[in-house]
Chain A
Amino acid sequence: MSVLQLDNVSKSFGNSAILRNVHLRIEPGERHAIIGPNGAGKSTLFHLISGRQQVSAGRILFKGEAIHTLPPHEIARRGLARSFQVSSLFAQLSVFENLRCALLWPLGYGYSFWHLLSREKALNARTESLLDELGLWQRRDVPAGELAYAEQRALELGLAIASSAELILLDEPVAGMNATEARQALALIRRVTAGKTLVVVEHDMTVVFDIADRISVLVQGELIASDTPAAIRRNARVQEAYLGVPVPAGGQHA
């Protein structure tokens, strides 16, 4: 059974159709990239899957169950986590507190007002090891709003992966980074998402061909191809519609 299945999903705002009849299947353990030019509807697709926006038509199944009618927090509880293109953190809380908040639901605290956070050893140990994993332990007590850009991106990723969700959606995880930062971020992503199903929206083709084992191409709201990286490179429609220039077989990507 697919982890994620989109059947005939459409989204329109007023008269303008953003997504048209998107069919997509993501299998367990897959590392799937969604590419496409600006305004193709990639972020909207993520918003629909994660429940931030409602589908206009079609349905979305997560592990075989319909989630397109659920509010975001209930989708998240089922094991679907996401990151944001523009870092979306708890600005006044420390890095440590940010990550601890992300662990509360997965560790079963719910809305508890009868636990004292400082006494929860397992929770705090998990938070510390997450800090370590993200390379943010030196910035443990700094408010998230005061972090440098790359650090904010690392924390953004941390909030998404903290829950050990089965399916992780990353929206342009390395956007705005320089080459060195992007390389480090990619290594981090690979490390922390090992063994999970990953869907990434990304502009940077280096990143896409590096990380994905399947790629879907979205152009003007339509999914024109969904295949392996090699097949996508050869796909004439993709080259014409998206890459612009023909790519020699087996050569470097654009």
Chain B
Amino acid sequence: MRALVLWAGFALVLMVLPLIFDSVLGVSILNQMAIAIVFALSYNLLLGQGGMLSFGHAVYFGLGGFLAVHAMLLTETQTLAIPLVLIPLAGGLCGLCAALFIGSFSTGRAGTVFAMISLGVGELLAASSLILVSFFGGESGVSADRTFAPPFFGVDFSQDVQVYFLAAAWLFVSVLGMYLFTRTPAGRLANAVRDNPERARFLGYSAGRVRFISFAVAGFFAGIAGGLFAVNYEILTAGNLNAASSGQVLLMAYIGGLGVFIGPILGAVLLTLINSLLNHYTTLWMLYLGLVFVLTVMFLPRGLTGLLMLHRVPWQQGRLGLLVRPYTLTAIPGAVLVLSLIGLLELSQRETGPFVYLGIPFAPGSAVSWLALLAVAVIAFVALRRTLPGLRAAWAEASAQSPRSMHEGDAP
């Protein structure tokens, strides 16, 4: 019952979102998010759920996307009339077939062997995408026009918001499908094999076969994401299946958090925002993205959702209030430090002319600008050093187990 309410709420949010963010940019970002969420969740079936570190997941996304574009082209040339709403499924089936083939020899081992094979296959595909021109279209890629497809109940998908509803429907079905998969024997065994492949063997399961199933399912949903990409952008290029795309989805899943089902959703939303908004403001956005990733790996190995989950114990014990003051006290110098460091980085990027940052004009040539930012950064750093111990102490107090909760197993 509770689950039903959650899913209905999810569907409702998907329907309401384009009414809130109704600008051209808003809808375009929502479409990107829908694609990214499906892709990131499919990746987490490998890494978070199955313990398979893939450096080539964009292969299945890209192949699905290319096939979807070709399917749209078939409609365009009136060879075959495929409704646009089914195009993502074509992409999914292509991703599934590719994963069945590549998984058949790459899932026997996890760990380094699997990672290296995924990297190799990814590079192989990226290289052949420039050679096999008839399928991949060479440097310019393959493009199609989605409006040639037969109208779907009068909808011709000429507007982005129409595409949004198509993408949202596929997003809903895909999220539900992947969630349900994690609740099946095959999905649970994927977790078991991730934790301890050897023990799974002695319980009657071939670890390789378990991984293979997860791999195929992940390929299928990555293909759906690729199909959605094809519908949305009407073009696919070699860039969609190269290592950079594979890296992007790894970042999304990792920053969002691998341990919780919704983690990659959060990561996909956040990174799509960073990708599409930040590059309007700075040329350094890739650097910031990299820094966020490095800091996540170093300080939040369970990602952003992992950080949120840490608050569960204090919340259950009603002690979240203890954290408000120390959080505020550390957040202020923390934010100042981050902003001043960003200021320094941006300043170093500007060659001439004034540079207005947070409403303050700075000049790359002036020592005052540099020294002022540096001084603020140092002061903020010192302040942060002084407030952090208070936060740590508050954490220890808030998350200490109370005597009552230690015996919660006794409760019915």
Point out residues on A near B: beta carbons under 8 Å.
Answer: 50, 52, 71-73, 76-77, 81-82, 84, 88-93, 97-98, 100-102, 104-106, 109-118, 138-140, 159, 162-163
Contacts of A116 in B (CB 8 A): 180, 183-184
Whether the Cβ atoms of B186 and A112 lie closer than 8 Å is: yes
Whether the Cβ atoms of A76 and B203 lie closer than 8 Å is: yes
Known: A89-B199, A90-B191. 4 other contacts (CB 8 A): A92-B259, A105-B203, A111-B185, A113-B187
For A79, the closest partner residue in chain B by CB is B204
Measured in the bound complex, the distance between the Cα atoms of B185 and A115 in whole Å is 7
For B206, the closest partner residue in chain A by CB is A73
Q: Does B410 contact A (CB under 8 A)?
A: yes
Whether the Cβ atoms of A111 and B409 lie closer than 8 Å is: no
Query: Given A101-B189, A111-B209, A113-B217, does the pair A92, B195 have CB atoms closer than 8 Å?
Result: yes
Contacts of B186 in A (CB 8 A): 111-113
Contacts of A90 in B (CB 8 A): 191-192, 195-196, 199-200
Contacts of B192 in A (CB 8 A): 90, 93, 97-98, 101
Q: Does B299 contact A (CB under 8 A)?
A: no
The CB with the most chain B CB atoms within 10 A, among A98, A104, A116, is that of: A104
CB distance from B36 to the nearest CB of A (A): 25
Point out residues on B near A: beta carbons under 8 Å.
Answer: 180-181, 183-189, 191-192, 194-196, 198-206, 209-210, 213, 217, 259, 409-410
CB distance from B2 to the nearest CB of A (A): 13
Contacts of B195 in A (CB 8 A): 89-93
Contacts of A109 in B (CB 8 A): 185
CB distance from A99 to the nearest CB of B (A): 10
Query: Given A104-B189, A118-B183, A138-B409, does the pair A88, B204 have CB atoms closer than 8 Å?
Result: no
Query: How many A-B pairs fall under 8 Å by CB?
Result: 105
Whether the Cβ atoms of B204 and A163 lie closer than 8 Å is: yes
Contacts of B185 in A (CB 8 A): 104, 109-113, 115, 117
28 contacts between A and B (CB under 8 A): A50-B202, A71-B206, A72-B201, A73-B206, A76-B204, A88-B196, A88-B198, A90-B191, A90-B200, A91-B195, A100-B188, A101-B189, A104-B185, A104-B189, A104-B203, A104-B205, A105-B204, A111-B205, A111-B209, A113-B187, A113-B217, A115-B185, A116-B184, A117-B185, A117-B188, A139-B409, A162-B203, A163-B204
Contacts of A77 in B (CB 8 A): 204
CB distance from A48 to the nearest CB of B (A): 14
Contacts of B199 in A (CB 8 A): 84, 88-90, 159
Whether the Cβ atoms of B204 and A117 lie closer than 8 Å is: no
CB distance from B282 to the nearest CB of A (A): 39
The CB with the most chain A CB atoms within 10 A, among B187, B198, B204, is that of: B204
Query: Given A89-B196, A90-B195, A117-B184, does the pair A111, B203 have CB atoms closer than 8 Å?
Result: no
Whether the Cβ atoms of B184 and A72 lie closer than 8 Å is: no
B201 contacts which of A76, A92, A98, A139 (Cβ < 8 Å)?
A: A76
Contacts of B204 in A (CB 8 A): 73, 76-77, 104-106, 163
